[in-house]
Amino acid sequence: MQHIHNTVAALKRGDVVLVPTDTNYALAADPWNSEACKKIYDLKKRDRQKPLTLFVAQPDQVWDYIDVSQVLHRDALNKLIAVMPGALNLVVPASDKVPLNPYLKPESVSLVCNHQRVLQQVIALFGRPLGMSSANLSGEESGCLIDIDAARQTFGTRVGYILPASQRPVTTLSSTIVSLLGKEITILRKGDIDIMSILS
């Protein structure tokens, strides 16, 4: 539990932390703290036009951040949320509960809920979602998932805390990204999750 408390303390100080997900290690910050989020972009050298992803502790929490009135595929949304937690990233219309932050879009939001227990515990203790991005320098793609050693080598001396994983990733690829914006359901990135079988 000490690792979890140390991670939450760093987040509350406005630090960026390294945390495990179901796929890659990621940089995380308080999305209600714009200065903290700016540190992620400075560390990654990330384009400001690419928004952070909000990670929640439990699947039912994603509903708070979705403007359901703007979702045309409600049945598909229900099915996709039903398979959470996992390596699934949903891009959906944003509700007014999404933080007003230059590193998040006001009209849409990317939402994730992972199996990784320590990440769930950190978010729950922190009391609200985390804004996150994979722990790599922008433009530098790896042929494999980013583990704690790779993340530490790239960012270790410049973050407030590094949270050890409670379990190893069971996926082989980065998360599947599905957009429910507009008239069509679009798979923006293919991962290990078979979206078509879920939606059929």
Neighbours of 59 (CB within 10 A): 17
- Please, are residues 95 and 104 in contact by the beta-carbon 8 Å criterion? no
CA distance 114 to 98: 19
Q: Diameter of the chain by CA atoms?
A: 46
- Distant-in-sequence, close-in-space partners of 80: CB < 8 Å, separation ≥ 6: 88, 90, 178, 180, 195, 198, 199
Instruction: Look at residue 159 and tell me whether its pLDDT is greater than 90.
Output: yes
* pLDDT tens profile 3-29: 999 999 999 999 999 999 999 999 999
Mean pLDDT of the chain: 95
Number of domains in the chain: 1
Identify each DSSP E strand in the chain by its residue range.
Answer: 17-19, 26-29, 53-56, 88-93, 108-113, 130-134, 161-162, 176-179, 186-189
* pLDDT tens profile 85-109: 999 999 999 999 999 999 999 999 9
Residue type at 161 in one-letter notation: Y
Find the CATH number of the domain harbouring 144: 3.90.870.10
First to last CA, the chain: 41
Instruction: Look at residue 1 and tell me whether its pLDDT is greater than 90.
Output: no
Stated length of the chain: 200
What pLDDT was estimated at residue 140?
76
- Please, are residues 137 and 44 in contact by the beta-carbon 8 Å criterion? yes
What pLDDT was estimated at residue 142?
67
CA distance 111 to 106: 14
Residue type at 162 in one-letter notation: I
Q: Would you call 34 helix, strand, or coil by DSSP?
A: helix
What pLDDT was estimated at residue 130?
98
Q: What's the domain range around 165?
A: 1-198
